Structure 1
Amino acid sequence: MDTKFSGSANYVASRDLMETVNIAVALQKPLLIKGEPGTGKTMLAQAVADALGKKLIIWNVKSTTKAQDGLYVYDVVQRLYDSQFGNAGVDDVKKYIKLGKLGEAFSADEQVVLLIDEIDKADLEFPNDLLWELDRMEFYIPETKETVQARQRPIVIITSNAEKELPDAFLRRCVFHYIEFPEQEQMEAILRVHFGDLEEKLVKQSLAAFYWLRELRGIEKKPSTSELVDWIRALVAGGVDPARIEKEIPFAGVLLKKDKDLQTLRKVK
């Protein structure tokens, strides 16, 4: 199995991104990934796990997520319920401790890839609350008076959509990479991963139309890679002649998701 990341069969990575991943792994530091939607931030973690032959653990962050959720949860309600009904083993507190995603990564016998996805969705204290655990690779459970230490330091990949600025103290502990939107040549390689047998003219015409649309003045939500893939699927399913794409954008609603953007397109096509 590879010891260094060089992309995967399902993920086309730039040289800069591959080098940054490998540096973060070598330095044993979290890798913070930013980039506009559709640039493959979340998929990167799966690609790294696949390429290195490691299990992937995903921690999806929400607006209500607290750092504690990733460590462990003490189910005091279930314990109270069991005590009321005289269930056996209620004195064993460990039964009511459930590890979170970070706890799972620390407890794994072999090294895993831990994805902390969209960290900027949580409140501003969330990244700071994780600093100790990510630095020391351990946390304490007061209910059982136990310390959970990482058996193998996980490869930590953190994604952010830049909805909020992350604290400087947190940023200092990360290796950072911004995934630029793919150039047309790289995008063609990405499409070949998804569609191995596409007609050459369809690829060229759809890419030309896609990048033209992204540069069109007045477009608020530029279409992303995933929307391009969906659009090509729609073109194939609809049996669209590639020559038609030179004159119009068929199924424009697959690419554009705002009324204003569709109106902007109608004015020029």
Structure 2
Amino acid sequence: MKFQGTADYIATDDLSIAVNAAVTLERPLLVKGEPGTGKTELARQVSLSLDLPMIEWNIKSTTRAQQGLYEYDAVSRLRDSQLGEERVHDVKNYIRKGKLWKAFEADQKVVLLIDEIDKADIEFPNDLLQELDKMEFFVYETGETIKARHRPVVIITSNNEKELPDAFLRRCFFHYIRFPELETLRQIVEVHFPGIKEALLTTALTQFYDIREQAGLKKKPSTSEVLDWLKLLLAEDLSAEDLKKSGTNALPKLHGALLKNEQDVHLFERLAFLARGGR
């Protein structure tokens, strides 16, 4: 089982090495990077590449670690007991299996994505230490221990919004997805827009990297945003010459796909104003 990217996902050598190292070590792969650099998509492509089913657990600010194991619906059981329901005698009828339980009981190895773990409470990673390490957990209501039939490939993503506990980090193989260099980004674009005109691509990517490197930018546009921008440029049938007309420091054509807050828009408006001599 070796991951080397797919036809739809350009994986750098260091990313492929990280995925395969985590699989070999049987440790969770913790992936960090700027939003929009393909962290979530990585798990989907690993699933496709290794021909493994995928289970996805999307974390929110209200998500609790227990929800990944199971939830016991005591309220429903109480209501059914008052109504004299026969099902009330089997507590398993009120156990709702979480994503980890489903991954552990799967008939084959699966890819388990725990997406954006840093959105949850700071204690969330610590609450999953033992379960991810030993690949088992205890169900108190039924007295059974759930063990993984096949150790899943666990991929955990983080946008670096919170520091993760050291004890959790020790149990992971870590990889930071750096923003792609020009040649890699060209390959990514070619996957999504095969046959795009060279002049348009060169001009667009030059402007894109100029925007990313602009001092004072609050949010740098990401890979997903440049793909959205190129899609719009192609839909509008704009040429390289059309892009050049905007000038180096002016707002780029269809800039709403790249600049996502008013501070950054005002920055480029100011640069355009200064480029015109402040008149």
TM-score normalised per structure 2: 0.93
Tell me which residue corresponds to 1:262: 265
Mean Cα deviation higher: 23-32 or 188-197 = 188-197
Which whole-Å CA distance do the structure 2 matches of 1:48 and 1:60 have between them? 17
Identity of aligned residues (%): 57
Q: 1:166 corresponds to which letter in structure 2?
A: L
Q: 1:261 corresponds to which letter in structure 2?
A: D
Q: 2:62 corresponds to which letter in structure 1?
A: T
Of 67, 70, 85, 1:69 maps to 67
Which whole-Å CA distance do the structure 1 matches of 2:206 and 2:78 have between them? 63
TM-superposed deviation, 1:65:
1.2
Deviations along 1:209-237, whole A, 9 cap, x unmatched? 10011011221111111111111111111
Structure 2 counterpart SS, 1:267: helix
Tell me which residue corresponds to 1:17: 15
RMSD: 1.0
Q: 2:48 corresponds to which letter in structure 1?
A: D
Q: 1:264 corresponds to which letter in structure 2?
A: L
Which whole-Å CA distance do the structure 2 matches of 1:49 and 1:58 have between them? 11
Deviations along 1:73-104, whole A, 9 cap, x unmatched? 11112212222222222111111111101111
Which whole-Å CA distance do the structure 1 matches of 2:94 and 2:194 have between them? 50
Moved over 4 A (4+): none
TM-superposed deviation, 1:36:
0.8
Tell me which residue corresponds to 1:228: 226
1:29-44 equivalent positions in 2, closer than 5 A = 29-44=27-42
Which whole-Å CA distance do the structure 1 matches of 2:190 and 2:180 have between them? 14
Deviations along 1:164-183, whole A, 9 cap, x unmatched? 11111111111000000000
1:45-64 equivalent positions in 2, closer than 5 A = 45-64=43-62
Structure 2 counterpart SS, 1:148: strand
Unaligned 5+ residue runs, structure 1? none
Deviations along 1:130-156, whole A, 9 cap, x unmatched? 011011100000100111000000000
Structure 1 counterpart SS, 2:216: coil
1:168-207 equivalent positions in 2, closer than 5 A = 168-207=166-205
Which whole-Å CA distance do the structure 2 matches of 1:197 and 1:123 have between them? 45
Deviations along 1:212-267, whole A, 9 cap, x unmatched? 11011221111111111111111111121221212321111111011111121123
Which whole-Å CA distance do the structure 2 matches of 1:80 and 1:10 have between them? 50
Structure 2 counterpart SS, 1:103: helix
Which whole-Å CA distance do the structure 1 matches of 2:110 and 2:173 have between them? 18
**Count of residue correspondences:** 267
Tell me which residue corresponds to 1:83: 81
TM-superposed deviation, 1:188:
0.6
TM-superposed deviation, 1:206:
0.8
Structure 1 counterpart SS, 2:66: helix
Which whole-Å CA distance do the structure 2 matches of 1:223 and 1:124 have between them? 28
Which whole-Å CA distance do the structure 1 matches of 2:61 and 2:13 have between them? 33
Tell me which residue corresponds to 2:110: 112
Q: 2:260 corresponds to which letter in structure 1?
A: K
